[in-house]
Structure 1
């Protein structure tokens, strides 16, 4: 699956996107796997409340099912203006 990172998440991870082989059932499981990789992922995902997630370009939550997902994107909350 493709995992995309935006804004400060991308800065902390050091990549805009990557292809990830995962057995994660949910977004939360994927985050747990990513955090276990390296300190940079741990830093990026330290506070899930500060993140938003989209699965296949639809906003969702960290309990979203990944069984058929092709893409997961992580980004900070958006502000209007």
Structure 2
């Protein structure tokens, strides 16, 4: 108890996600931010971008985030 500080992890614990997961997660978050920004910048309720383009971009961003969280590479996990 006295030898380890609180909040420090041991170096032998694996990462939760792979690099691919983090890249796809960042892409999904970027798509969500771009979709909401485009909706805000048009500033019209009945506009073409607000009604058709932005919801598609936002939903694809959410789908990408969900994919990046749920996708797990079975070959990279080590069972010891």
Does the pair score TM above 0.5? no
When normalised by structure 1's length, the TM-score is 0.25
Structure exhibiting the larger radius of gyration computed from Cα positions? 2
Pick the structure with more strand per residue: 1
Pick the structure with more helix per residue: 2
